[in-house]
Structure 1
Amino acid sequence: MTRTADKPQVLLEHHLRVLKLPTFLAEYEKVARESAADGIDHPRYLLRLAELELIERERRLVDRRIRAARFPATKSLDTFDFMSIPALNKMLVLELARSEYVIRNENVIALGPSGTGKTHVALGLGLAACQKGFSVLFTSTASLVNRLMEARDGRQLSRLQAQLASVKLLIVDEFGYVPLSPTGAELLFEVFSQRYERGSTIVTSNLPFEEWTGVLGSERLTGALLDRLTHHVHILEMNGESYRLKHARNRRHKAAKATAGQSDPDTGEITSP
């Protein structure tokens, strides 16, 4: 049987669960002990608990936005090697990470050869936008066009288009890797058109603008698409050596030196064969 003295605690915990204050529930006894030891009054005690609840609630919201974004991997700009792509405007990327372009419904286009880190930068900007409180969706161009085609065939196109239009930041990766059918190109154009000045879009492409007609198959459609995408745009030039090929070559070089018993330039250690 519950003792009379325990009833307030039982009721408090019940009310905290009903009010959906899990951090308050988990921390109130610990914070009470700390507050008593520090001589903190009741208002400051409650303030500490409220702050902990808000911090944890924001963390959960960010996690939820990250899951909803469907990132293939979670990458931040902190891990991007800017030194490997000297052509990239680092200051512009860091400015974009503040996500103010999302508020202004501006676009970002990252252009450069395969392997130069375009997807990494797009993921980093997407993660930053999630942390700033914006809804984000990541997709490859091929996957997006396939979804649009399937939705059209299943008479769900309007619903999918509405979902894509409602996202604050849409990231369309790998534009230009696969030519699109006329129907696919028109459906993709419609997505960009519906987002024009209503939401932000990041596009990564291995092709310069003058070669986009080869993907869309129509000069008219390409012109109309670029007109919308580039009206309010930040362009990231990412021309340079493939990041992946460079690292693969460095690994082979280190392995060859280790086999030969030479010192590793990074560690100074000598590995005997």
Structure 2
Amino acid sequence: MDKELEAMLKYIRLPGLLANWNSYLTTAGQDNYSHTRLLKEIIQNEYTIKKENSRKLRISKACIPERYVMETFPFDRQPNLSRKKVINIYDSDYMEQRQNIIWIGSTGTGKTGLATSFLMQDINKGYKGRFITFPELVELLYQSVADHTEAKIIKMFEGYDTLLIDELGYVEIEPIQVGLFFTLMQRRHKRKTTLITSNLGFAQWTTFLQNNQLTAALIDRLTENSHVINMKDCVSLRAKLNTGQG
């Protein structure tokens, strides 16, 4: 391949064609390989490469600390969790229905691992997602007040097709943070899918939100169109597997 053609392929970003140029030339020389068939193969390969690169980029931007997948979750070690229920939700059209999924249970039972599996599935299907812990989210919201970027931060998190908020309830938050968090959840209500893990039952959410009315309104919106997976009777997996799944 001459340098000019190589430069053009790099400029128009066709890495597959550049990498497989000689192979394509060999294929083109085959008597039973039509020009149409060759062009289709080149286009299909480029499409596959771009799709995969896009998927990898979405995963990178999602800030997922541990990329758990459903196939590796140890259901056999968690007998009090209904595998059938989880898989039925996993295989359902929850994204099209804009449904939320909430996991409630003690630390170490696998809530984060399961929620991450859903997030990974959504990203692999082409959706844009983000992982963030509740303490990190409310801190970002709090900092946005100081530099007057509340609208920008809320719009950013509002835009994710799937937003995974991990460890809801680990910190007490200020009234202004409660208000901003409620605004975000209200904006996503019935428009986007939100995945939430919490070590506290709904009745205990007032202990960190410290606002009875907003807590009630928040729970009402989150559970109106959602699946709740109760893992309160599940055992910790950390001592048995040391997997880090929370």
TM-score by length of 1: 0.82
1:76-113: CA deviation from partner (whole Å, max 9, x where unpaired): 11211111222323234334434731222110001111
2:211 counterpart (204, 212, 218): 218
1:241 aligns with 2:231: no
1:80 aligns with 2:76: no
1:42 aligns with 2:42: no
Structure 1 unaligned blocks of 5 or more: 1-5, 249-273
CA root-mean-square deviation: 1.9
Secondary structure of 1:203's counterpart equals strand
How far the C-alpha of 1:165 sits from its partner, in A, is: 0.9
How far the C-alpha of 1:35 sits from its partner, in A, is: 5.5
Secondary structure of 1:230's counterpart equals helix
Question: Structure 1 residues 206, 57: closer, same or farther in 2, change over 3 A?
Answer: same
Aligned residues: 241
Equivalent in the alignment of 2:121? 128
Identity, % of aligned positions: 30
- Counterparts of 1:55 and 1:99, CA distance in 2: 26
Contact kept? 1:96, 1:125, Cα under 8 Å: no
Question: Structure 1 residues 38, 108: closer, same or farther in 2, change over 3 A?
Answer: farther
- Counterparts of 1:227 and 1:26, CA distance in 2: 54
1:141-180: CA deviation from partner (whole Å, max 9, x where unpaired): 0000000000111111111111111111111000112222
How far the C-alpha of 1:71 sits from its partner, in A, is: 0.6
How far the C-alpha of 1:201 sits from its partner, in A, is: 0.4
How far the C-alpha of 1:212 sits from its partner, in A, is: 1.1
1:205 counterpart (198, 203, 208): 198
1:162-216: CA deviation from partner (whole Å, max 9, x where unpaired): 1111111111000112222222222211111111111110010111111111121
Contact kept? 2:171, 2:208, Cα under 8 Å: yes
1:160 counterpart (143, 153, 166): 153
2:20 counterpart (27, 30, 33): 27
- Structure 1 runs (4+) deviating above 6 angstroms are none
Contact kept? 1:87, 1:237, Cα under 8 Å: no
Question: Structure 1 residues 15, 102: closer, same or farther in 2, change over 3 A?
Answer: same
Question: Structure 1 residues 245, 57: closer, same or farther in 2, change over 3 A?
Answer: same
- Counterparts of 1:103 and 1:39, CA distance in 2: 44
Which structure is larger by alpha-carbon Rg, 1 or 2?
1
- Counterparts of 1:100 and 1:74, CA distance in 2: 22
Once the two structures are superposed, the pairs formed by residues 245-256 of structure 1 within 5 Å of their partners are 245-247=239-241
- Counterparts of 1:243 and 1:38, CA distance in 2: 60
Q: Which has the higher contact order (CA 8 A, sep 6+)?
A: 2
TM-score by length of 2: 0.91
Secondary structure of 1:178's counterpart equals coil
Once the two structures are superposed, the pairs formed by residues 55-94 of structure 1 within 5 Å of their partners are 55-94=48-87
Structure 2 unaligned blocks of 5 or more: none
